[in-house]
Amino acid sequence: MFLITGLGNPGEKYKNTRHNVGFLVIDEIAKNLSTTSINNSNFKSITLKATNKNINQILAKPQTFMNLSGESVLSIADYYGIENSEIIVVHDDLDLPFGSVKFKIGGGHGGHNGLRSIDSHIGQDYIRVRIGIGKPTNKEVADYVLSDFSKEETNKLQDIISHAVKAIEAIQIEPFSKVQSTFTLK
C-alpha cells in the first residue's frame, strides 16, 4: 500500500497557489480513479482510498496547514502500517524552475516547512516528487508561494500535473532509478 500525500494549505483562498501544487496533483489522481472517502479525524486530512492497477493507495491532502503536514502523514502511516519507502510526498520546490519535475528519496527540507514537519515526524527517507515553481524575482518567498500561478503558468500547469500523475503511478511499479531517468523534466 502506498500513501500519496500532496502538500498544500486548506481553504478556497489557497486553492490555486503555488504552494498547493501537491493538492492539485492529488485532485488529478483522484479524478481518474474510483475512490472511497476515509473519515478518521485523527488523520487531520482529506483522505481517500483507491486501487490503481491492483495497488492499494491512500491519497491525502493534510488539512493542518503546510507547517504541520507531518502530523497527518505520521497518523495515516501509523494507522495503516505504511513504511517510509511507500510514502510519496508531492510538493512545490522553489529551487527548481517552473515546470520542472524531479524525484528523490531523502535529503534536506530546503527550507520547505511542510517537508520540515514531515521530516520531524517520520524522518527523511520517503519518496519526494518535486514540482518546480521557480523563485520570486520581486516578492518575498512567503508572498510568492502563497500567490496564484500566473496566466501563462496556469496554461502549462495541467500538462505538468498530468506528467507528475504518470510518474507517481510508475513509482509504484518501476525501479526508482528508471522513474528518475524517464520522468524527470528540467
Q: Per the residue annotation, which of 19, 109, 112, 121 is the catalytic one? A: 19
Burial of residue 65, with CB atoms counted within 10 A of its CB: 0-12 exposed, 13-18 middle, 19 or more buried? middle
91 is catalytic: no
Q: Name the region of 49 (left: φ>0; alpha: ψ -120 to 50; beta: rest).
A: beta
Strand 55-62 to 45-52 pairing: antiparallel
Q: What whole-number distance in Å separates Cα of residue 48 and Cα of residue 66?
A: 19
The residues that are catalytic are 19
